[in-house]
Structure 1
Amino acid sequence: MNPVEVQNLTVAYQKKPVLKNVSFTVPEGKLIGIIGPNGAGKSTLIKAVLGMIPKATGEVRVYDKLYRAKDRVVGYVPQRGSVDWDFPTNALDVVLMGRYGHIGWFKRPGKKDKELALNCLEKVGMQEYATRQISQLSGGQQQRVFLARALAQDAKIYFMDEPFVGVDAATERAIIELLNELKQQGKTVLVVHHDLQTVKDYFDHVILLNISVIAEGPTEDTFTLKNLHQTYGGTLAFLEKGDILVGQK
């Protein structure tokens, strides 16, 4: 059974398709990059798969069962810019929100939940900020807290929407180390990613998307100049060093 199968997924806003007949199958225990230009529907794809926005057509199966939004097997890290960071809560409480799928929304987190949450904060280098209000954290620190919340969910599959955007180099290194640790544990991680220069270093498998899936498969076979030209069209500008893409407008 594959972790995620998407079949003929279409999403439309005001009758205009923003995703059209998207189909792909995700292999287990891999880091998967969702790659494409601005407006390609990358974030929309994640939200549609997770049932956060309505689908016009198509279905999503998780381990061969129709996906339900409350399924604890899936974790989600949203774009940092989509979160209200002025909400009056601290880092530990944000991470504990990742436990509600296990304990229920009407039960208070127990001692074991708090210990697990603190351990997740420690894994992302944020334990000393556990009681800090999230509005007082830097962008990179906020992203680390949201990654800790995802870890606390203890999911088998993770969807992450541009986790590297707006973070410093140290945080980016910490995030990719964490993603590789999840992979080593047999987890499957899908990441919306925009930096073409790091795709080959970060991901085992890629989905090249521009409203429809242009290509998908192992990175070494799929992340090619031919497929990138089809995905990005005239917006692509690059210098060639073998098959390495160096820059993009």
Structure 2
Amino acid sequence: MIPVEVENLTIAYNQKPVLQEVSFKVPEGKLIGIIGPNGAGKSTLIKGILGLIPTAGGNVEILGESYKKQRKKIGYVPQRGSVDWDFPTNALDVVLMGRYGHVGMLKRPRKKDYEIARECLNKVGMLDFADRQISQLSGGQQQRVFLARALAQDAEIYFMDEPFVGVDAATEKAIIALLNELKARGKTVLVVHHDLQTVDEYFDWVLLLNLRKIAFGPTKETFTIENLQKAYGGKLTFLQDQALVVEDSK
């Protein structure tokens, strides 16, 4: 069964389209990078798929059904900037939130849920910080905690919105190792990503986006200079055959 199928998805803000008739079918058990210039609609795409923002048209199916019917099978790691890090809770409680789909919102977590939460914190190297308030953690540590929460959910499909932004090299290495572990377990992972120099190394498939779908397919076939130029236009330069994004001076 197709993990994620998007058909003619259109999203508009104040009647201005920010995504236009985007269609693609996600293969199972792959790491998929969603890339494109700033303002291309990458985060908007994820939020539209997850029903976090209204859509102007199109259809989304998760494992053959609507998102509402399959939401327990989906894990979501939002951008760090969209999270209220001053909320008074510790790292362990954040990870336990990933278990609510299993225990129910009005029920107390069981001993097994605490064990799973601690195990997930350990996997991301944050078990020693289980009792630390999230506001007292560094940016990279906060990101690790949210990844642990997604792990605790034990989802089938994961959406991650720029998980590598603002983290140190050690955290980035830990994140990609975790993503590969999820893939090895048959999970499907879609990641909004901005660093073009690591796309070849990190992802099996790529969705190139700039308001519309530019290209979608296996990285070796899709992540080409021709497709990058279509997506980035004049904002793209090349150095030693590696694509680099540069901002226009205008």
TM-score w.r.t. length of structure 2? 0.97
Residues 11, 19 of structure 1: 8 Å contact kept: yes
1:77 aligns with 2:77: yes
Cα deviation, 1:19-56, whole Å, max 9, x if unaligned, reads: 00000110000000000000000000000000000010
Alpha-carbon offset, residue 217 of structure 1: 0.1
Alpha-carbon offset, residue 195 of structure 1: 0.2
Q: Which amino acid aligns with 1:248?
A: V
Q: Tell me the matched-pair count.
A: 246
**28-37 or 67-76, which deviates more:** 67-76
Alpha-carbon offset, residue 69 of structure 1: 7.0
CA distance in 2, matches of 1:229, 1:219: 16
Equivalent residue, structure 2, for 1:90 = 90
Q: Which amino acid aligns with 1:2?
A: I
CA distance in 2, matches of 1:139, 1:75: 20
CA distance in 1, matches of 2:95, 2:66: 27
Q: Secondary structure at the match of 1:209?
A: strand
CA distance in 1, matches of 2:200, 2:70: 33
Equivalent residue, structure 2, for 1:190 = 190
Q: Secondary structure at the match of 1:20?
A: strand
Q: How do 1:7-18 and structure 2 match up within 5 A?
A: 7-18=7-18
The CA RMSD measured in Å over matched residues stands at 0.9
Q: Secondary structure at the match of 1:38?
A: coil
CA distance in 1, matches of 2:124, 2:214: 34
Q: Which amino acid aligns with 2:40?
A: A
CA distance in 2, matches of 1:68, 1:240: 46
Q: Secondary structure at the match of 1:186?
A: coil
Equivalent residue, structure 1, for 2:226 = 226
TM-score w.r.t. length of structure 1? 0.97
Q: Secondary structure at the match of 2:229?
A: helix
Equivalent residue, structure 1, for 2:56 = 56
Gaps of 5+ in 1: none
CA distance in 1, matches of 2:166, 2:98: 23
Q: Secondary structure at the match of 2:238?
A: coil
Q: How do 1:91-240 and structure 2 match up within 5 A?
A: 91-240=91-240
CA distance in 2, matches of 1:232, 1:203: 19
Show structure 1 runs of 4+ deviating over 3 A: none
CA distance in 2, matches of 1:19, 1:35: 14
Alpha-carbon offset, residue 240 of structure 1: 3.7
Residues 62, 70 of structure 2: 8 Å contact kept: no
CA distance in 2, matches of 1:89, 1:95: 10
Alpha-carbon offset, residue 208 of structure 1: 0.1
Q: Secondary structure at the match of 1:114?
A: helix
CA distance in 1, matches of 2:62, 2:81: 28
- Sort the Cα spacing of 1:188 and 1:205 in 2 relative to 1 into closer, same or farther, 3 A: same
Equivalent residue, structure 1, for 2:33 = 33
Q: Which amino acid aligns with 1:148?
A: A
Residues 51, 69 of structure 1: 8 Å contact kept: no
Q: Which amino acid aligns with 1:190?
A: L
Q: Which amino acid aligns with 1:128?
A: D
Alpha-carbon offset, residue 68 of structure 1: 1.1
